[in-house]
Amino acid sequence: MKIISPSLLSADFLNLGRDCQMLNESEAQWFHLDIMDGVFVPNISYGMPLIKAMRSATEKVIDVHLMIEKPERYIDDFKKLGVDFLTVHAEATVHLHRTLQAIKAAGMKAGVALCPATPLAMVEEVLTDVDMVLLMSVNPGFGGQKFIESTLPKIKKLRTMILNAGSQAIIQVDGGVTLDNCKELFDAGAECLVAGSAVFGSDDPKSTITKMLQ
Ligand code: DX5
Ligand code: ZN
């Protein structure tokens, strides 16, 4: 399975409708929305009104990546907005298991994300409770950063852990994904790649997405 989830953080906010239209016409299957609170990460992105607008702009999967402290506070709100995948950081919630259960009980797919320095052991006990594990391949907070190479062995190790646990979770990789490294990432065991600047910064975003999926 190969999925591309373009990160709207790199879209043109003055022409968001046009960029959504472009993604709708593209082969990208998901829309990746990055929510930052200025506490968990040193940046603030956008919030509920924009998610609502995105939901009305596409029938594709809305994939929300929460980079906020105590994400459990807003689970029902995201469900009401029509979010499909809700991913929380393992570092941002004390009761991760409870948070993941609550996301599923609300009727969404549950994802758990890890920063580059966070060991895979942080998710080992919840692998059968999640639909997706997001490995950050840059330090979260900003688009346009350079891919951290140690993510590659981490993907392979996680793939083995998921198999051994009998989990159905897919692996998403987020940060510094480009046309040059996407094949290697899919080959290593990633199923969903997030790409912001590589898509929106390219001359022909639709064809870049198509090439990433080849
Ligand atoms: C970073 C975000 C990413 C970001 C990716 O904190 O989680 O989704 O938008 O941007 P690129 O693809 O430019 O690294
Ligand atoms: Zn993201």
CATH of the domain at 88: 3.20.20.70
CB of 177 closer than 6 A to ligand 1?
yes
- Alpha helices for the chain (secondary structure H): 16-25, 48-57, 75-80, 96-105, 121-124, 151-165, 182-188, 197-200, 205-213
Which residues make up the environment of ion ligand 2, defined by Cβ < 5 Å?
34, 65, 174
What confidence score (pLDDT) does residue 55 get?
98
pTM over 0.95: yes
The domain total for the chain is 1
CB of 194 closer than 6 A to ligand 1?
yes
- For 10, the domain range is 3-213
Tell me how far the alpha carbon of residue 70 lies from the centroid of ligand 1, in angstroms.
Answer: 21
Query: What residues of the chain score a pLDDT lower than 50?
Result: none
What type of residue is 26?
A: S
What does the mean pLDDT of the chain come to? Answer: 98
Q: Whose CA is nearest to atom 10 of ligand 1?
A: 143
